[in-house]
Amino acid sequence: MILRTFVRMFATVHSFHRVIKPTSLINQPQQIEAILSVLQAVLLGIIQGLSEFLPVSSTAHLTIVGKALGLIPADHPEAWTAFIAVIQLGTLSALLLYFAGDLWEMTVAFFRDVATHGGGKGFSGYSRDSRMVLYMVLGTLPVAIVGYAFENVIEGYLTKSMMFIGYSMVMLALFLWLAEAGAQHVRSLGDITWKDALVIGFAQVVALIPGASRSGTTITAALFLGLRRGAAARFSFLLSIPAVLGGGLLELYKLSELMKAGENVLHFGILNLAVATLVSAVVGYAAISWLLNYLVKYTTLPFVSYRIVLGSVLVALVAGGVISPR
């Protein structure tokens, strides 16, 4: 069902793409010439909003569609990475809005416990909400360190390799299946410890691999640790907030610095970037609500099957020379 939805959306936009073709901003060999149409921006926003929170990899789906529409230049792959990071701010706003109440309670509890030293008991006296703030920070450290250290690799050609994305989708699917098969589903959000936060944080590092999926890797790790599916997804979403915020702001900073230097960095257009970001926020909010309710009753096995099918098809098409490996 998920694959069929993406195919229909792609077919609709591709038909418009034949009529409304991207035009060049500036015809210079060192600059990217492709510019998104508003319809393409809407499509990419929908894909980002859905796949950011479902354990299917937003980067993989955006890259597949981006390549199909000819939007990713081979000589400037970092521009596509920057585009993805910026529209992730849309799904970040969906997270902030959906968990606004939780985040407020966590913040208030944290500063109260810091001021009172946990009611005089130290860290052991911290409430669950205040500990969650510390766990979010702790779980973000691994991805922040690794992301900074390997920034060039992450933004380079490897992240746009269709073969690599295909293998990654299949491998993560197998790990998610193993987690479901052996999971006990007995622990709640309040049972999370600093060790759990660190383990799930290292799992978030794996999400830097294209095709892995941030929610997929962190939910998988949480299931291995015995968390219930709903609790696993909830902590996964909360943990993603600092990482997505940091990544998006860093890319915005890079874009602003290049603009100050006179570089033409808005290759996809301000309007298209804004449209994609707005659409991803709306769709993302709906996806969060749906997945949290879905995982209360059902397993992640449909996503496992979807990842294996899409990843296998992608590898077969690249191996057969039907589509370009990059």
Helix/strand/coil (H, E, C) string of 119-184?
CCCHHHHCCHHHHHHHHHHHHHHHHHHHHHHCHHHHCCHHHHCHHHHHHHHHHHHHHHHHHHHHCC
| Residue 91 burial (C-beta neighbours within 10 Å; 0-12, 13-18, 19+) | buried
Q: What CA–CA distance (Å, rounded) separates 119 from 134? A: 17
For residue 38, the one-letter residue type is: V
Q: Model-level pTM?
A: 0.81
Q: Is residue 55 part of a domain?
A: yes
Beta bridge partners of 187: 227
H or E stretch covering 316: helix 301-319
Which pLDDT does position 18 carry in this prediction? Answer: 42
Task: Examine residue 256 and state whether it is found in any structural domain, yes or no.
Answer: yes
The string of pLDDT tens digits covering residues 293-318 is 999 889 999 999 999 999 999 999 88
- Confidence (pLDDT) at 27: 44
The pLDDT, as a whole number, for residue 13 is: 43
Residue 230, C-beta contacts closer than 8 angstroms, at least 6 positions apart: 292, 295, 296
326 in any annotated domain: no
* 325 in any annotated domain: no
The tally of domains found in the chain comes to 1
Is 164 within the bounds of a domain? yes
Query: Alpha helices of 38-127 — where are they, by DSSP H?
Result: 38-51, 58-68, 77-98, 100-116
Q: Which two tokens stand for residue 309?
A: 């099918």
How high is the pLDDT of residue 299? Answer: 92
- 9, 46 in Cβ contact below 8 A? yes
pLDDT of residue 20: 36
What pLDDT score does 32 carry? 39
* Contacts with 151 (C-beta within 8 Å, 6 or more apart), sequence order: none
Residues of the chain with confidence (pLDDT) below 70: 1-36, 73-79, 81, 151-160, 255, 258-259, 261-268, 325-326
Check residue 163 and give its pLDDT: 86
- Please report, as a single letter, which amino acid is at residue 58: S
Instruction: Flag whether 249 is in a domain.
Output: yes
Under a CB-based contact definition with an 8 Å cutoff, are residues 56 and 220 in contact?
A: no
Domain that holds residue 303: 2-319
The answer to whether residue 184 sits within a structural domain is yes
Q: Quick check: is 278 in a domain?
A: yes
Task: Please give the pLDDT value at position 277.
Answer: 92
